[in-house]
Amino acid sequence: MNIPNRITISRIFLIPVFLIFMMVPFGWGDLHAGKTVIPVAHLVGALIFIFASTTDWVDGYYARKYNMVTNLGKFLDPLADKLLVSAALIVLVELQIGAGIGLASIIIISREFAITGLRLVLAGEGEVVAANMLGKIKTWTQIIAISALLLHNIPFSFIPFPFDDIALWVSVFFTVLSGWDYFAKNSKAFVNSK
């Protein structure tokens, strides 16, 4: 268990902490930013989500720089991303934050299940598929969109359009595109060679 894998596991352990701040009514009051109101607990939860998300970059950078890339890391890293993003999307649906958040969540989570299934099929063939560039773009667009939604768009309130909602649908686009790319590049997994 090397340091990058420990960082990845810490991201998984931060998920229940994030959920507690987002879902438990602490009664800490609200913050006001112009016309926008955000509960203090939601702000704390959003910051935990953002911190946990940045560990994705840290563990990858550390693994590549010090040549600590492992099959366990290739498995755990995308799993941690999927768990964190799925938890955040479910919270946003529950809190009804974001235009079309329900449909976007279904698309994103369905893609994650499909890719996980593909990875399992490939693992049965002895292949471990690491995230490619489109997968990384997908992850970061999701993180930006979810962060903006969790923060009730406050950091982007100076922009004259709903940045959070547009960012959400940009992330859906990259989610579908990267999913198609994974299946197109690994279609051999579904061909019976026997």
In this predicted structure, the answer to whether residue 134 has a pLDDT above a threshold of 60 is yes
Domain 3-190 listed as CATH 1.20.120:
yes
pLDDT tens track for 88-112: 999 999 999 999 999 999 999 999 9
CA–CA distance, 154 with 96 (Å, rounded to integer): 17
Whole-number pLDDT of residue 102 = 97
Whole-number pLDDT of residue 192 = 56
CA–CA distance, 128 with 72 (Å, rounded to integer): 9
Q: Where are the domains of the chain?
A: 3-190
CA geometry: angle 103, 175, 178, nearest 5 deg:
150
- Of the candidates 73, 92, 72, the one whose C-alpha atom is nearest the C-alpha of residue 84 is 92
pTM exceeds cut of 0.85: yes
